[in-house]
Amino acid sequence: MSSNVENKVSALAAANTGASLKPKRSGFKVMLGLIGMVKPLAGYMVLAIIMGIIGFLTAIFITVSGAVAILDVLGVNTGISLGVVFACVIVFALVRGFLRYAEQSCNHFIAFKLLALIRDKEFFALRKLCPAKLEGRDKGDLISVITSDIELLEVFYAHTISPTVIAFIVSIIMCVFIGQISWLLAAVALAAYVVIGLFIPMYISKASKGAGYTFRSKSGELSSFVLDSLRGLPEILQYNCGKERLAEMNERTDSLSAEEDKLKSLTGLNTAITNTIILIFDVLMIIVSCTLFSSGTISFAGALVATVALMSSFGPVVALANLGSTLQNTFAAGNRVLDILDESPVTVDVTGRENVEFDGAATENVTFAYDSETILKNVSIPMPKGSIIGIQGRSGSGKSTLLKLLMRFWSTDEGSVTVSGRSVDEINTDNLRDMESFVTQDTHLFNDTIKNNIRIAKLDATDDEIEQACRKASIHDFIAKLPDGYDTNVGELGDMLSGGEKQRIGLARAFLHDAPFVLLDEPTSNLDSLNEAIILKSLKEEGKGRTVALVSHRQSTMRIADKVYSIEHGRVS
């Protein structure tokens, strides 16, 4: 595919899935989406909430018990002996310690289990989006989403959902408890809980609106830039542009640090506001309690217990207040995760149809455009069973695109692509891919052994089958000379091998897959004349009974074709 076509593909893919500095959905919708994922572990979440409620109540009543003890020492009759008070404190402390540990353990089990499930969903979604929706997408940004962004969701699942429910229920219980002493004191407590647990996090969250998403997006962009720089390090050194690249990296890092400073400043503001509001309500509670005691509305014991109960019950709502500055970052991460899960693939896998046997293929009046640029126009090419069909043309004419349509990576805008007389849109996707072998211009190699890189085409292949495929691809002799032979590791992206060696491994995969329909995109572009001749001979011999769609610029490669079609300006000539 030519550079201008690739740019169109990249632009279209980036428009569909690229990171934006503006979130696609509101924080409320993100929250609902993330909560919906808790369903498989709802029972554990309920257990964590129950333990959290009891745990916080025992912590609160340890302090309340202390107030009762003071009253007993002062000679105020509370109906509870000092011994009973101390026994209750010991029991409350032990229960609090156990339940705190159990609640946190349960919450983190939920969080990390869900992170694993979400990563599984992300990979499944990426598989459906690939290759059409992922062409041109920054790989570094994707890595950032499935690693650090998903990791940030731990805050939501371990420290947001159950604490919110716990704070709500504990606040109601405490309002009822204080309300038995005085409804006015209960109103003060309710106001304190609402302001600290609701208004403060809402205010801070609103103040940081967009900052979290900007931070996560810039973090993904930096990851992509660093990954790109590492992969292009030889070129950077070759052209002596390391200083410029480093300067840009530092500039991006400084920009990211500036966004992080904004978030940390909001965290500090959040803490300051929360502590100030708590102090104000503590003083207000003391004033109202003293006023009611002075007027004879409540007893001294009631005033002391109510005041101490309020002062010791801010734990659950403070946990919510502290979330105000972190939720934007978490929701931003959640937004990016949900963007991938909600993305619609260009083509949906076909299932449930009766499998077909390969009996030739064809394109009939196919028209296709990337975005607004038409690449193919009314292209009709028959590909009878057992024939080798050559497809040639200038760069950018749409030859590679045609092969991708045969693979159903994209769908046609007009016309049809058929295999065995049936539209590829009506053939089970697994069945279609079993019938086809596709060798692209660039062979991707995994950081694994040569043997495992070839075996990906047929997972149950024997060593003999792999060797035979490599002989047909004219690479067996090269592999045999390596110290570890087929167990040689190719390195990241196959960096240990040359372009021609990578290409021959790609051809070995095609031979091993042994499909009746072989699609070859410039299969000999990186090969010398000798290896080209060997491979063409193999293709000619192996092509008996198979259909081969052969794209190439080389006239020497086209000599094995039974019929050659030329595509110019998107049309067959």
Structural domain boundaries in the chain: 29-342, 361-572
Asked if 64 and 309 touch (Cβ cutoff 8 Å), the reply is yes
Asked if 197 and 167 touch (Cβ cutoff 8 Å), the reply is yes
Distance CA 182, CA 164 (A): 26
Residue 210 is predicted with a pLDDT of 66
DSSP state of 426: G
pLDDT tens, residue by residue, 533-559: 888 887 787 667 789 999 988 888 888
The residues facing 549 across adjacent strands are 389, 519
C-alpha distance from residue 306 to each of 56, 68, 239, 269 (Å)? 17, 11, 74, 29
- Indicate whether 570 pLDDT > 80: no
Q: Exposure of 99 by Cβ count < 10 A (0-12 exposed, 13-18 middle, 19+ buried)?
A: buried
Q: Please spell the DSSP secondary structure of 166-189, one letter per residue.
A: HHHHHHHHHHHHHHTT-HHHHHHH
Residue 532 is predicted with a pLDDT of 80
- The model's confidence at residue 26, banded by pLDDT at 50, 70 and 90, is low
- Indicate whether 482 pLDDT > 80: yes
Asked if 521 and 439 touch (Cβ cutoff 8 Å), the reply is yes
Sequence-ordered list of residues with C-beta below 8 angstroms from that of 101, at least 6 positions apart, any chain: none
Write down the residue that tokens 């509370």 correspond to: 78
Query: pTM above 0.75?
Result: no
- Indicate whether 38 pLDDT > 80: yes
Helix 42-73 and helix 82-129: axis angle, to 10°?
Answer: 160
Provide, rounded to the nearest whole percent, the portion of the chain with pLDDT above 90: 46
Q: What mean pLDDT do residues 461-471 have?
A: 93
Range from 1-15, 86-100, 368-382, 448-462 carrying the lowest mean pLDDT = 1-15
Residue 509 is predicted with a pLDDT of 92
Q: What mean pLDDT do residues 287-311 have?
A: 93
**CATH superfamily, region 29-342:** ABC transporter type 1, transmembrane domain (1.20.1560.10)
- The model's confidence at residue 31, banded by pLDDT at 50, 70 and 90, is confident
Tell me which H or E stretch contains 520: strand 517-521
pLDDT tens, residue by residue, 144-202: 788 888 888 888 888 888 988 999 999 999 999 999 999 999 999 999 999 998 888 88
- Indicate whether 402 pLDDT > 70: yes
Residue 2 is predicted with a pLDDT of 41
Three-class secondary structure of residue 331 per DSSP: helix
- Indicate whether 462 pLDDT > 80: yes
Residue 333 is predicted with a pLDDT of 81
pLDDT tens, residue by residue, 216-243: 778 878 888 888 888 788 888 888 888 9
Distance CA 348, CA 368 (A): 18
Tell me which H or E stretch contains 195: none
Asked if 344 and 18 touch (Cβ cutoff 8 Å), the reply is no
More confident residue, 72 or 455: 455
Average pLDDT, the chain: 86
Question: For the sheet containing 373-383, what is the strand order?
Answer: 373-383, 361-370, 414-419, 422-423
Residue 360 is predicted with a pLDDT of 92
Residue 10 carries which side chain, given as an amino acid letter?
A: S
Residue 331 is predicted with a pLDDT of 79
pLDDT tens, residue by residue, 366-387: 999 887 788 899 999 999 998 9
Residue 489 is predicted with a pLDDT of 93
- The model's confidence at residue 361, banded by pLDDT at 50, 70 and 90, is very high
- The model's confidence at residue 458, banded by pLDDT at 50, 70 and 90, is very high
Q: What mean pLDDT do residues 120-132 have?
A: 87
Q: Give 361-572's CATH code, choosing from 3.30.70.20, 3.40.50.300, 1.20.1250.20, 1.10.645.10.
A: 3.40.50.300
Helices then strands (H, E): number in the chain? 23, 10
Write down the residue that tokens 């595509």 correspond to: 567
pLDDT tens, residue by residue, 424-437: 999 999 999 999 99
Distance CA 530, CA 565 (A): 26
pLDDT tens, residue by residue, 254-285: 988 988 888 788 888 888 999 999 999 999 99
pLDDT tens, residue by residue, 492-527: 878 888 888 888 898 899 999 989 999 999 888 777
More confident residue, 141 or 251: 251
- Indicate whether 289 pLDDT > 90: yes
Asked if 10 and 135 touch (Cβ cutoff 8 Å), the reply is yes
